[in-house]
Amino acid sequence: MSDIVVAKRYAKALFEVAQEKGIISGVEEELKSVVGAIRDNADLQKFLNHPNIGASVKKDLLKQIFEGNVSEPVWNTLQILIDKGREGVLAQLVTDYVKIANEALGQASATVYAPFAISEAQQAEIAAQFGKLTNKTIRVQTVIEPKLLGGIQVRIGDRLYDGSLAGRLNRLASSLK
């Protein structure tokens, strides 16, 4: 079975447990912090992905790092992944969990690309405008993209809304042809 399918199954199961306990958002944040901690520590990554290190040793280390810092469902999921040798699906599991949670809660994540920092008020305005467009509550994450000369690009799921200067010029050039 492919890792993508496995990650979706684990994400769905974890979401159902989190929903039952009423901690959907908390689990999402915990998963993101666990993946971030592992991603930011190259030694920890190598350790977890090493095939000759036993599951019990890996779980002992993760217990020292994360137990007490994450909820029971997240901790149990980490243990199951280690036991099954599926440590590599953790990042995909987080992505799938966020998609499932957003869909269930009527939310969407928007990544806003801008050539400059965007204020909180501007983020709220972007969230409101795209919330009307998608009929969902929008959570905005900003990425500074110096290649954009002006305007912004907003990615929601697999859709890109291009309000950048370069995008406008390209559309103008196409309409003139």
147-165 pLDDT, tens digit per residue, is 888 899 999 988 999 988 8
Q: Which strand (E) or helix (H) includes residue 79?
A: helix 72-83
72-109 pLDDT, tens digit per residue, is 999 999 999 999 988 888 999 999 999 999 888 888 88
CA 154/CA 143 separation, integer angstroms: 10
Question: Closest Cα to residue 85, out of 39, 53, 45?
Answer: 53
Does the pTM surpass 0.85? The reply is no
For strands 153-156 and 107-114, give the pairing. antiparallel
C-alpha distances out from residue 148 to 111, 112, 177, Å: 14, 12, 24
